[in-house]
């Protein structure tokens, strides 16, 4: 009943990585190595970073420029782009017609960027994904499977809660951005809610600075999805909980008419070292009527990154594959982010006299 399996491509295509930063080292390359997929080459504007990862992961081609990379990449390459969002459009414009592309989130820094990225992808007939990998974490795959089978009945409540201490100093490009927490972090949670419940009718949001993290545009948010039905779905993040591990929280909880599921995402607690994941469920009908601990195979890092690349490669092999990480779905997530900032900017209801 509990499974974190996902479809794998039959004939994996060679991967060329653009950007040799933290996430590539920690997640992309370990994922592709674990899957046994061919990594053809790597490039970074900082050549020493590309060289270092090439040595560590046995990658044979280290390119010195985008021109060299495009000339050297095999015709069926998957271009795996992991650079700051502001650099995406410039790179996509250089890729060949009908390329296979996996780009890191966010899909640009604004909805206008996302529109331009979508235009380029369509004009150049790319098969493209955006790396919203959190919905493909093993425990989230397991929860989706249970919910799709009707195991917890009708899903009517979804909560994503992060009460953690995040070392923002690891990402210097995030400083001085006009949009930060919802665009770079809660974007994953918004994407995840729509993976389970679809697009909402409306959205309410407020994002907050933290007095000790005033160099960042915001680090705490509340985002409420309105489905015009008795469904409650919301994101509640606080990345400034610097009071030890005891009350750090990182979970996704689903409640249905017949049961509930809670997945603890340990990686966010005590980040970047991380704590163990947990998967618990409660089945009121045909179940034990108490919380039960489930054993889920795989870990967030690197399995979710393997699942994301697999989702794209399956879509390249078969256009009828689910392609849950598709650029089109990611564009909808960017619409949600834009709505969240518009809601934040428009302010709440003034309290009547
Ligand atoms: N999907 C996820 O869960 C996830 C997690 C972490 C980071 N990210 C995203 O991945 C991207 C990179 O994050 P990171 O943590 O690796 O950052 P990082 O700063 O460690 O690395 C970024 C790398 O990109 C390189 N770069 C910049 N412009 C380039 C260009 N034009 N061509 C080639 N290389 C270029 C930089 O030299 C740097 O090495 C960001 O957009 C971030 O939001 C996504």
Statement to judge: residues 148 and 52 lie in one domain: no
Mutating to test ligand 1, I would choose from 16, 17, 18, 19 the residue with most ligand atoms within 8 A of its C-beta, which is 19
Q: Do 214 and 115 share a structural domain?
A: no
pLDDT mean over 261-280? 93
7 lines ligand 1 (CB under 6 A): no
Q: Ligand 1 atom closest to Cα of 131?
A: 1
> Residue 317: what pLDDT?
98
**pLDDT tens for each residue of 96-126:** 999 999 999 999 999 999 999 999 999 999 9
- pLDDT, residue 273, reads 87
Q: Are 38 and 162 in a shared domain?
A: no
Check whether residue 235 and residue 249 sit in a common domain: yes
Model confidence band, residue 205 (pLDDT cutoffs 50, 70, 90)? very high
pTM of the model: 0.96
Q: What digits encode the pLDDT tens for the residues 311-347?
A: 999 999 999 999 999 999 999 999 999 999 999 999 9
Number of structural domains found in the chain = 2
Average pLDDT estimate for 34-57: 98
Tell me if 345 is assigned to some domain.
no
Q: Return the CATH number at 277.
A: 3.30.360.10
CA dihedral 192, 129, 227, 238 (to 10 degrees): 40
Same domain, 276 and 149: yes
CATH number at residue 38: 3.40.50.720
Pocket-testing residue among 45, 62, 83, ligand 1, by greatest number of atoms within 8 A of Cβ: 83
Among 115-119, 175-179, 204-208, name the one with the lowest average pLDDT: 175-179
Structural domain span for residue 158: 134-303
**Same-domain check for residues 80 and 150:** no
Domain boundary among 261, 282, 303: 303
pLDDT recorded at residue 170: 86
The H or E element containing residue 309 is helix 300-317
| Domain's final residue, options 72, 101, 132 | 132
Q: How far is the CA of 214 from the centre of ligand 1 (A)?
A: 23
Q: Are residues 288 and 194 in the same domain?
A: yes
Of all atoms in ligand 1, which is nearest to the CA of residue 84? 41
With a cut of 90, say whether residue 271 has pLDDT above it: no
pLDDT of residue 64: 98
Is the model's pLDDT at 1 over the cut of 80?
no
Q: Please give the average per-residue pLDDT across 62-71, as a whole number.
A: 98
171 — pLDDT class (breaks 50, 70, 90)? confident
How high does pLDDT run on average in the chain? Answer: 96
- The confidence score (pLDDT) of residue 287 equals 75
- DSSP character at residue 72: H
User: Residue 160: what pLDDT?
Assistant: 98
Cα(283)–Cα(146) distance, rounded to whole angstroms? 11
- Torsion angle, CA of 319/34/134/153, rounded to 10 degrees? 80
The residues, ordered by sequence, that sit 6+ positions from 79 with a Cβ below 8 Å of its Cβ are: 16, 18, 73, 95, 99, 100, 101, 102
Q: Are residues 216 and 94 in the same domain?
A: no
Domain identity same for 111 and 175: no
With 0-12 / 13-18 / 19 or more C-beta atoms within 10 angstroms meaning exposed / middle / buried, residue 70 is middle
* Cβ–Cβ under 8 Å, residues 324 and 198: no
Residue percentage of the chain with pLDDT more than 90 = 93
Any domain includes 353: no
């Amino acid at each position: 009943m509990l499974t974190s399996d996902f479809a794998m491509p039959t004939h994996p295509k060679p991967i060329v990585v653009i950007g040799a930063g933290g996430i590539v080292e920690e997640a992309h390359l370990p994922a592709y190595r674990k899957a046994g997929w061919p990594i053809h080459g790597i490039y970074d504007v900082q050549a020493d970073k590309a060289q270092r990862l090439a040595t560590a992961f046995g990658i044979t081609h280290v390119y010195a420029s985008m021109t060299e990379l495009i000339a050297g990449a095999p015709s069926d390459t998957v271009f795996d782009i992991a650079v700051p969002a502001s650099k995406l459009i410039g790179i996509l414009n250089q890729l060949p017609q009908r390329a296979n592309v996996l780009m890191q989130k966010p899909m640009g820094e604004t909805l206008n960027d996302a529109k331009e990225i979508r235009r380029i992808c369509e004009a150049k007939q790319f098969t493209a994904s955006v790396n919203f990998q959190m919905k493909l974490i093993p425990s989230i795959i397991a929860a989706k499977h249970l919910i799709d089978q009707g195991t917890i009945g009708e899903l009517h409540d979804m909560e994503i809660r992060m009460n953690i201490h995040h070392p923002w100093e690891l990402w210097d490009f995030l400083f001085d951005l006009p949009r930060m927490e919802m665009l770079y972090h809660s974007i994953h949670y918004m994407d995840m809610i729509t993976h389970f419940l679809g697009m909402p009718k409306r959205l309410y949001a407020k994002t907050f600075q933290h007095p000790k993290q005033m160099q960042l545009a915001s680090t705490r948010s509340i985002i409420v999805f309105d489905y015009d039905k008795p469904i409650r779905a919301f994101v509640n993040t606080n990345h400034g909980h610097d009071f030890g591990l005891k009350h750090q929280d990182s979970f996704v909880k689903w409640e249905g008419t017949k049961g509930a599921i809670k997945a603890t995402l340990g990686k966010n607690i005590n980040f970047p070292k991380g704590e163990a994941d947990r998967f618990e469920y409660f089945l009121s009908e045909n179940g034990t009527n108490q919380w039960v601990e489930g054993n889920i195979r795989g870990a967030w890092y690197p399995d979710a990154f393997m699942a994301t690349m697999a989702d794209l490669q399956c879509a390249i092999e078969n256009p009828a594959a689910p392609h849950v990480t598709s650029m089109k779905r990611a564009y909808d997530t960017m619409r949600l982010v834009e709505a969240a900032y518009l809601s934040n900017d428009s302010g709440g209801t003034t309290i009547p006299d």
